[in-house]
Structure formats: C-alpha cells, structure tokens
Amino acid sequence: MAQVLMVYKEVQIANEKAKGERLWSVISYDEKPGIQAVGNTASDLPPVPGKYPAMARDSEYRRYGTVILLAGIDLHNGQVTGIVRDRHRSREFIEFLSVLDQRYPTDWKLRIILDNHSAHVSKEKIQWLKKYPNRFEFIHTPKHGSWLNLIEIFFSKMVRSFLRFIRVSSKEDLKERIEKYLNKMNEENEEPVIFRWKYKMDEILV
C-alpha cells in the first residue's frame, strides 16, 4: 500500500511542475469484467407530459453475453486507453500493453499500477517483456486492495453515466459503443478529468 501511495505522491509532484520535465507516465490499470450486452424485447415508451414523467421500459430483456473492458487511465493527462474483448488472459493483457507501447514515445517509461491477477504475472507476459527492456514498470496493489487503484473511480463513473441503462442489439454493438465512449472522452478532454489520490497525501514524503 505504501508503495502505491508513494507513486501517487510522485504523480502529484510531477503534475505540479512545468511540462516537459519528465520522461515517464503513470497509468492506473484494471479490467471491468462481466459487462452485459442486454437488448430490449419491446421498444421504450417515451414520457407523456402530465401522465408519465419518465421513459418506460419493459421488464423483459434479451441477453447476448458479456464482454470485458481492459483499461488504463493516464494519471497525468486523464487520457484513457482501452480494449474490449471476450476474455481476459495473458494474451489480452499483452495486447493491451502493445497498445500502450504504441501510444507513447519510445523513450518513455510506462509505470503501471495494477493488481495481482494471474494474467499480470504470467510466464507469457514476462517473456514478452524481454523485447522491451526498461519500458514497463509494474506497481502491484496488495491483495484485497483494489480500492487503492484510481481506475476504479473511472469504472464507477462509467457505470453511472453510461452502462447502467444501456440497451444494445448484440455483443458487437456493445463493444462498438464502449469504444466510442472512450474515444469521446479522450476527444472532449480539453479540460481532462485527472483522478487524484487526496487522502493524507500531504503526510507522505518522497
């Protein structure tokens, strides 16, 4: 826990300095599994002034399956990197790391805060990392300490603002809409939402 909070303090210090003074970024990463692709069996009914103040929806629905979002948020600029897949194995995690590698300058150090899922410490991942010496650094949260990872705040916001009442026509439709949501967030981030750890941060010395 102390190691994770130390990194958050380093992020705070770096963000308060002038731009161009660092060659690294901290990315808070996790997966959001079990996102359900749910479709309506009947069309939604619009509100009726003076009678029905809100949209009405049939309680019956269709299930098309679930998808997993693998996502990381840059704690310096608020940019979100994400891929939507059917499964979460070493293969998908390595794919996410490859996407990250392409998004940042080649001389940049990528420091990733994540949990101890088996895919994050697999032999396949370790073998893949040999091709990218000194490119990635991993800071693991303690067991049962997912609340320490700031990406969870982003996931909570995403559920409340986007996923809670979504209806789709297929699993592919859900994947496309999640990708559009992430792209829209990044494109409209003229004043990006940068998640910060604040609790007792002033007491931490680096």
Residues 64-112 have pLDDT tens digits of: 999 999 999 999 999 999 999 999 999 999 999 999 999 999 999 999 9
Q: What CATH superfamily is the domain 2-16+23-42+54-187?
A: Ribonuclease H-like superfamily/Ribonuclease H (3.30.420.10)
Residues 17-62 have pLDDT tens digits of: 866 678 999 999 999 999 999 887 777 777 778 777 776 666 777 8
DSSP state of 21: S
Note the pLDDT of residue 62: 85
Give kind and range of the element (H or E) at residue 26.
Answer: strand 24-40
Q: Which amino acid, 57?
A: R
Residues 163-198 have pLDDT tens digits of: 988 888 999 999 999 999 999 888 865 566 787 877
**Domain residue limits, the chain:** 2-16+23-42+54-187
The structure's pTM equals 0.87
Q: How far is CA 71 from CA 100, 187, 189, in A?
A: 10, 16, 17
Sheet-wide strand order for 61-74: 80-85, 61-74, 24-40, 109-114, 136-140
